[in-house]
Structure 1
Amino acid sequence: MTRETVRDLAAMLKQLSPRLDPDRYRYVQIEPSNAAQLLGAAIATFREEEGVSAIVPAAIADQADIDGADMARITLEVYSDLEGVGLTAAVATALAVAGIACNMVAALNHDHAFVPAARSAEAILILQNLAARHS
């Protein structure tokens, strides 16, 4: 089912509907020695000049003996248009004001904010308040 996407910033923020994923994730580098284990579990990958980066469940990273910061994923349930302007900036700015790091990942249907797991409850409240201010 395809939903109509929203391009207007005020409408995107009004429909933000942030949802906190209970799982924890970690950004990792894919190496030949761990590719089979990590690629199958990855929820996102990106090829850079230095190699392939992936976002994998923290439990899988632990199994592969890869340390790193545990991140929480907040899915922005709004169906934002890929050409919509300002959603990433508004979300990142709202979190930055509170001193919360935010790594945004845009997918076809939704945008996802990855924040430090320890601050995920605070981050979800900030984004809920952002949406409420535009309702």
Structure 2
Amino acid sequence: MTGERDLDALLRHMKPEMRPGIFVFCTIPPNEPIPASTSPLLTFREQEGTTLVILREEAEAAELRTAFASRLITLTVHSALNAVGFLAAITARLAEAGISVNALSAFHHDHLFVPADKADEAMAILQEMSGAKRL
């Protein structure tokens, strides 16, 4: 299944959805195992350590230090991994509104971690960009 590459179509059909919960970013030393009590949504190994993106409650229960309390917005359009300009257009528009974003492209969709206190504003901007009417 090939993802969408046309920028106009991607923006028009992005259909943002906000997932429940507050996600946080944590790091553990490079050779330390991921705490068994956690179920990370995302792991990424860097030279300095392993990044975990997990629900805040899991991080607190595992006594992990946290950063960037965020909400996760999934852009439900199936975007091609080699689509050009989609995230650039979105992150530029969010930046104009003073909203930081940590973006992730997975196989089927693009995902945005935005500050928890700016999530509703980010959703409104994304819906406006897609031409969707607010509910």
Q: Same fold (TM over 0.5)?
A: yes
Match of 1:19 among 17, 21, 27: 17
Please say if residues 24 and 58 of structure 1, whose CA atoms lie closer than 8 Å, have aligned partners that are also in contact: yes
How far the C-alpha of 1:30 sits from its partner, in A, is 2.3
Show structure 1 runs of 5+ residues with no match: none
Q: CA RMSD in A?
A: 1.7
| Equivalent residues in 2 for 1:39-54, closer than 5 Å | 40-54=38-52
The percentage of aligned residue pairs carrying the same residue is 35
Could you tell me how far apart the structure 2 residues matched to 1:33 and 1:124 are?
Answer: 36
2:56 alignment counterpart: 58
How far the C-alpha of 1:35 sits from its partner, in A, is 1.9
Shift >4 Å, 4+ stretches: none
1:82 alignment counterpart: 81
Deviates further, 27-36 or 111-120: 27-36
Please say if residues 35 and 62 of structure 2, whose CA atoms lie closer than 8 Å, have aligned partners that are also in contact: no
Deviates further, 101-110 or 58-67: 58-67
TM-score by length of 1: 0.88
Q: Which has the higher helix share?
A: 1
Aligned length: 130
Could you tell me how far apart the structure 2 residues matched to 1:22 and 1:8 are?
Answer: 29
Please say if residues 43 and 50 of structure 2, whose CA atoms lie closer than 8 Å, have aligned partners that are also in contact: yes
Please say if residues 75 and 111 of structure 1, whose CA atoms lie closer than 8 Å, have aligned partners that are also in contact: yes
Mark the CA change 1:37 to 1:96 in structure 2 (over 3 Å): closer, same or farther.
same
CA deviation map 1:87-107 (0-9, x unaligned): 110110111010000000110
Please say if residues 26 and 52 of structure 2, whose CA atoms lie closer than 8 Å, have aligned partners that are also in contact: yes
Show structure 2 runs of 5+ residues with no match: none
Could you tell me how far apart the structure 2 residues matched to 1:8 and 1:24 are?
Answer: 32
Could you tell me how far apart the structure 2 residues matched to 1:13 and 1:95 are?
Answer: 14
TM-score by length of 2: 0.88
Please say if residues 34 and 64 of structure 1, whose CA atoms lie closer than 8 Å, have aligned partners that are also in contact: no
